[in-house]
Structure 1
Amino acid sequence: MTHYDHLIIGGGMAADAAAHGIREQDPTASIGILGEEPTSPFPRPALSKKLWTDPDFTVENTALDTVGETAATFHPRTRVVAVDLEAHEVTTHGGDTVGYGRLLVATGGHPRTLTDLPGGDRVLYYRSLTDYHRLRVLADTRPHVAVVGGGYIGTEIAAALIGQGCRVTLLHPGEVLGEQMFPAELADDFERLFTDAGVEVRGGAEVAGGREHADGVRLELESGDTVQADVVVVGLGVEPATHFLPEEVELADDGGVVVDEHLRTSAPDVYAAGDVASYPDPILGRTRVEHVDNATTMGTAAGRIMAGSEETYDHTPMFYSDVLGLGYQAVGTLDSSLETFVERVGEGAVAYYLDDEAVRGVLLWDLDEGVEEARALLARHSRPTDPADLAGTITG
């Protein structure tokens, strides 16, 4: 049986960061990484952004050199099916056992799927570098691509593919693209970006299922309508990958792994970091964040803590997206059902999201600066009586 001082389950950016964190703290400890995917850790944001839009970004110069930089042993195509907490062992789908001194769960999530739309050669639940390579080959034929989902992945992939000369239909359930996140005036601007670029945006379109056939893919909508496309890309978010964990590991209501401020789970010598971890943010409260800033910062902290650091994880992450020349950043909760106040700043805008007690989120729309000011504002845990009094708080 192979044994590692530090064993990481998951092969994404949090795993890479954790290996670096371990190595910062301990130059000699053995590190093992068990990844489900056939490729080593890779920066996921590039898969839907700069690999499509910036010719200076290639798979080769973007890839992480986790093994070379940390001397970790990486095991690709290795899915963990069970953890024995008492024996300090994990079992893989191939029946192998791997021992550990300390274990990090950095599994991220698996793409949400539609029950009646199986993945296939032309139906991609987009998540991995393998998916990127497949979609690149398909995109070279300039197909008609139906993108299902109006969130981060859906909008970024739609923007990427229209830039490659594909015909793109973007299907989402709302009335206006981005309406669940953005105040109405910004959601209108957001949808207009896509329609002006040539994307066919179909709101009120919920996909019930579909089938791949010789000529492409036929999607069936809840309304009874159908959409015929050459390729379908589905981006509906992810579900935390925790299926292998024993019941002693506490899970949050959203399926994330509950950790304390030291990123420890409820099981001895087991930690969690990245998209899968539900942690006590000092500003936001207990939360789970599925974005790269959190994955890398938390992963590094988890690695150092596993290797002996007594630090706490106190970083409040930001998140961002880039589509069709628009870049936006945010901190906190972007929920358009909250009270909002939008201030135009130069060519961009700042949107504030408030509940009865405090400012809960800040959106920086087409602005390069303001993240630290946004964190400071949220940390006050208060709000003005009139939201318009927030004008001038963040100037970008």
Structure 2
Amino acid sequence: MDPVKYLIIGGGMVADSAARGIRELDEDGSIVVLSADVDEPYTRPALTKKLWTDEEFTWDKVPLGTAEATGADVRLSTEVTAIDRAARTVTTADGETVAYERLLIATGGTPHSLEGETDDRVITFRSAQDYHALRKRSGAGVRAVVVGGGYIGQELAAALIQNETEVTIVTPDETLGGSMFPADLAHHVEDRFRAAGVTVRSGRRVETVELDDHTVTLRLDDGTSIDANVVVTGLGVTPVTGIAEAAGLMVDDGIVVDERLRTTDEHIWAAGDVASYPDAILGRTRVEHVDNAEQMGRAAGRSLAGADEPYTHTPLFYSDVFEFSWEAVGTLDAELETVEDWTEELESGVIYYLDEGRPAGVLLWRTDGGTDEAREVLANPPADPAELIGRIRPGVA
């Protein structure tokens, strides 16, 4: 059994970027991608954004074309169940053994789901399959409940209401977005959802899910209930670290890697949602966003192919709902002290989140082109937080 030169576990955007990164340095080395998904790598953000809001963004624009671009052998519906570090092999659920020279773990995360009964009317949103299932069950006359008020839940609620679906969103935050945004901005966001026709059940959690032939019923923690035709959850993910931990790799809220994205095994790397890495600005962290998937994936691929380069990119994350668009770097935690720099009436602004007086995150609300400046603020903050005002100019260029 000849070993694969570059074996990648996981078939998401990290795998695509890694394969492309490998090809920047090695045009011929064999690349095999073992993916538990049924679809080849695709652009994940479109599942909650442009596919719902841009008629010209059709499904044919979603696949990334990994195999065609890199020559990788992408094997779908293939779950890896074990890594044998001594033999340098992996085993799949169907009993196949694949040998490797260098291995990248890019297994991503498993979405959190609701307790209680489930069927295909209860969608734990993560994959292209989930998008197709929700799209099929959305539209005029459909009552949908979105559970989770983070940026994915907000994007799903906005997407559905803009496609003629009746929408209720349930969030444990007292105000929609209240765990991320300062109070005034969170109220502004919630008001916009209500104005669009979304029913907001804030400060509430789902306790049970009950099904009958016609209805999905959610019982909330205040004793009330909501009836729906479809329920979709956006409740965050847990990194898929089981095979790494079983193989004896260091795991601590993700697979622990060094600045070159190598694990405690010199033949194994990890990247994306699953990797805990030493960020050049933020310190050790784990990031679950597309910018990190693309940039870290490419860096990991180059590292597998022999590049002696640290991963120095501090990723941004972003969201688009209705006319609101924002980008951020670092930590968005509404419990932190903030310094806010607005144009007028919460139209556009820059919010600095302070941890013990030092900037820990920067939110660019309807503000273009400030992410590099935000990174600079986090890396080299002013001695006086008052000097943050005017540091990044709010507004659209």
Answer whether TM exceeds 0.5 for this pair: yes
Matches within 5 A, 1:162-241: 162-241=161-240
What SS is found at the alignment partner of 1:244? helix
| Structure 2 residue runs without a partner (length 5+) | none
- For residue 39 of structure 2, what is the aligned residue in structure 1? 39
Preserved contact between residue 357 and residue 383 of structure 1 (Cα < 8 Å):
no
User: What whole-Å deviation, never above 9, does each CA across 1:155-213 have from its counterpart, x for those lacking one?
Assistant: 10000000000000000011101111111111111111111111000012101120232
TM superposition shift of 1:66: 0.2
Alignment of 1:131 onto 2:130: yes
Preserved contact between residue 91 and residue 98 of structure 1 (Cα < 8 Å):
yes
Matches within 5 A, 1:227-266: 227-245=226-244, 246-252=246-252, 254=253, 256-266=254-264
TM superposition shift of 1:136: 1.0
Q: 1:306 aligns with which of 304, 307, 312?
A: 304
Q: RMSD of the alignment, in Å?
A: 1.3
Q: 1:388 aligns with which of 381, 386, 394?
A: 386
| Structure 1 residue runs without a partner (length 5+) | none
- For residue 69 of structure 2, what is the aligned residue in structure 1? 69
TM-score, normalised to structure 1, is 0.96
CA distance in 1, matches of 2:71, 2:208: 45
User: What whole-Å deviation, never above 9, does each CA across 1:290-324 have from its counterpart, x for those lacking one?
Assistant: 00000000000100110111111000001100001
CA distance in 1, matches of 2:368, 2:266: 42
CA distance in 1, matches of 2:235, 2:382: 33
Q: 1:326 aligns with which of 317, 324, 327?
A: 324
- For residue 377 of structure 1, what is the aligned residue in structure 2? 377
What SS is found at the alignment partner of 1:11? coil
Identity %: 51
CA distance in 2, matches of 1:46, 1:213: 32
Preserved contact between residue 140 and residue 164 of structure 2 (Cα < 8 Å):
no
Alignment of 1:94 onto 2:94: yes
- For residue 17 of structure 2, what is the aligned residue in structure 1? 17
Q: 1:272 aligns with which of 259, 270, 273?
A: 270
The AA in structure 1 aligned to 2:354 is L
Aligned length: 391
TM superposition shift of 1:383: 4.7
Preserved contact between residue 139 and residue 160 of structure 2 (Cα < 8 Å):
no
CA distance in 2, matches of 1:354, 1:314: 23
Alignment of 1:351 onto 2:351: yes
What SS is found at the alignment partner of 1:373? helix
What SS is found at the alignment partner of 2:4? strand
Matches within 5 A, 1:45-124: 45-118=45-118, 120-124=119-123
Preserved contact between residue 112 and residue 238 of structure 2 (Cα < 8 Å):
yes
TM superposition shift of 1:357: 4.4
User: What whole-Å deviation, never above 9, does each CA across 1:333-379 have from its counterpart, x for those lacking one?
Assistant: 11111110111136301101012241111000011221111000000
TM superposition shift of 1:117: 4.4
TM superposition shift of 1:36: 0.9
CA distance in 1, matches of 2:23, 2:226: 51
